[in-house]
Structure 1
């Protein structure tokens, strides 16, 4: 028997046990890990084979101990359980053209505060134990960008505090979302159900994401006094009272709707009663026009019973994954398909994306914007420090995960700072960083971006005078480095004022911009250029001039796309190398 199997009976039993553990509580990573060790050896030499098998046994023993630790972490004594919710979503548009569709959809629910892996199917590894499941919830993907180390509860509390809400009113919470599968998810909306100390549904946070990578959270409390335009939906008479709320629309979700109108929601408790239930999911969201007509009705509701992954057999897990693995991957293609039908078949006009408002979260920054954010932060800190009047500026960045908000104070004594005026400077979209460096004049930059392009929001605009209006004109370019002189001369010559962001417009309208494409003023070094030349070290200076020069050159020869510029540079380098080979 040993000769046939090529292993000892103990090793065979251990392998079989490990396989059972993998399919019972393990996820994708566990399966691949075991696969490499269970079928990876057919060594001809007996001593080598025995040594290899001994090493396998040691690793599998460690693995079994690790999975036992993950199982212990999955024990949850609080209310609610990790659940899988097979659902159906429907959209019905009433005007200007009728259109509807129905799709299957999968939601995952977890108690906020729970960490571990439930049956190898659902995981939330906020404690950093390595717990993995097929459907993964990561705190960094929700609410404010980044800060995953806070966990779901910490991030939820931070958001509630930002809305001036007492977090003690909602000691329990349950998140229902489209979780990551194989590292991917597209999540149009997540539902945070908030419960009172008596475990009654008391509020909801709707976390809405659009296809432009922007986000808006709505904190909605139970309110039975407001009128609601609701789709005709059959509900059971014994259902508990749902959350009903109507609020003004201020977030661009669909390109076929403007940012005007209102939303209303009817959301039933998925854990009723006493947070011990298992569904169903039942939520209806209505879009109401400015004339108070129901324009669109979107529903998501359970299609069958919720599933507790800790009660699933290995075969049930396999069957479930085979039936639902593809759903998350086709969410975005389905949106594109329906958008094409509305545009080409129904003839609806497209509303171009407006810049997000103060209440929204901008898209993720691209590589250039991520480089520019800390450089702009340094410059703003310098301006605040040198302010002639006592001033405190709360700077809130955009698009860079884990880039913290920061309070910047002018260089005055403590007595003066007690009387200092305070201003909040919030960047609404990371596009601001790449636009700001195009201006030669700081005050023109902030005035244009605040009032015309709407890429920033400032709580006290009058205080901008203290920061960005200079008492003296910046000196001409002066540097002892010929390299710096050449770089910044080129930057000065390539710099041009960015065109105003003119939104929202529909596809049926054309631009009405009256601004000339070419600035007729003589450009000079900007104050930000002068700051980096005079005050920053060589590392920061090199980073600043490099990113600006690449961006300016790309706008001239690569349609503003740094990837195209890189490709053009590569082609040029290959062409020069080929020419040199031909010559020599």
Structure 2
């Protein structure tokens, strides 16, 4: 079988420019999961399961409205509500799996395709460390290639940043490589940039075992890194912002990037 699901192994980099510079980088890997393949993958792989404990696992209730209901209709409803035409083509989710029962994904990205293979939209699902979740839905340029999208920030992610920001996304969709770059701009210009990038490899038990050795307890380390760097920002006297209320709606509509935003993006 020609599997569309795969592993991507690479790095995450963050850089804050103001009021004092701060940067971090760490190795990471993601699963690209075709939502229609997950059950077959779980049957094929000894080390991966759906909705039950394993070395690696996918749990539906970690995503979407967290009800545990199937994700495809949830994402299709979000696209329809955003006025984005989707004809039932594949939906593929880039995310970190649960590892030994634990997962935290600051960002998971859904790539929504038409039946002819063209990309019609992306959905950026953001989780914060306060247990909240929000998604940005953005149409994709049917011309293909790298995506340029933007959206107003409406969801609290870090106590070191305000909500009055706009995101600019620069995305290389899944192929032999993948990249998602996000610039955050406020009234003074670019404040932060975050880039995840990885190289595709086959999703197999052998590969998952290798990743356990090269990236041990990855998801726990991601959470630990977030809190460690929060302490470092405090030490640098970056102002702490209060936690605003979460948006009432679970999705925010983004758009294709304006020419000005395209020029400022750093893929």
Q: TM-score over 0.5 for the alignment?
A: yes
- Shift of the 123–323 alpha-carbon distance from structure 1 to 2, 3 Å rule, reads same
**Taking structure 1 as reference, are residues 337 and 200 closer, same or farther at Cα in structure 2, changes over 3 Å only?**
same
| Cα distance change, pair 134–145 in 1 and its aligned pair in 2 (3 A) | same
User: In 2, distance between residues paired with 1:88 and 1:358?
Assistant: 33
Displacement, 1:317?
Answer: 4.7
Aligned position for 1:139: 60
Please state if 1:322 is matched with 2:213. Answer: yes
Q: Please report how far the alpha carbon of residue 133 of structure 1 lies from its aligned counterpart in structure 2 after TM superposition.
A: 4.9
* Counterpart in the other structure of 1:471: none
1:528 corresponds to: none
SS at 1:158 equivalent: helix
- Matched residue of 2:110: which SS? strand
- 8 Å Cα contact 1:90-1:298 kept in structure 2: yes
Q: Which runs of 5+ in 1 are unaligned?
A: 1-75, 225-239, 272-278, 362-584
Matching of residue 308 in structure 1 with residue 231 in structure 2: no
Q: TM-score, normalised by structure 2?
A: 0.84
* Structure having the larger proportion of residues in strand: 2
Asked if residue 290 in structure 1 is aligned to residue 201 in structure 2, the reply is no
The structure with the larger Rg is: 1
Task: Report deviation, 1:201.
Answer: 2.0
CA drift at 1:83 = 1.6
Q: Which residue of 1 aligns with 2:114?
A: 196
1:335 to 199, 208, 226: 226
Alignment match, 1:106: 29
Distance, in Å, in 1 between the alignment partners of 2:137 and 2:174 is 18
Contact 2:27/2:215 (CA < 8 Å) preserved in 1? no
Aligned pair count reads: 247
Aligned pairs for 1:162-241 (under 5 A) are 162-168=81-87, 171-223=89-141, 241=145
Q: Is contact 1:121-1:309 (8 Å) kept? A: no
2:77 pairs, out of 158, 168, 171, with 158
Instruction: Give the SS at the match of 1:296.
Output: strand
Separation in structure 2 between the aligned mates of residue 153 and residue 204 of structure 1, nearest angstrom: 13
Q: Secondary structure at the match of 1:334?
A: helix
Distance (Å, rounded) in 1 between the aligned partners of 2:141 and 2:18: 28
CA-atom RMSD in angstroms: 2.2
TM-score (norm 1): 0.40
Which structure 2 residue ranges, 5 or more long, are not aligned? 252-267
Higher relative contact order (CA 8 A, sep 6+): 2
Distance 1:285 1:98 in 2: 17
- Separation in 2, partners of 1:133, 1:108: 15
Shift in CA distance, 198/223, structure 1 to aligned 2, threshold 3 Å? closer
Shift of 1:356: 1.2
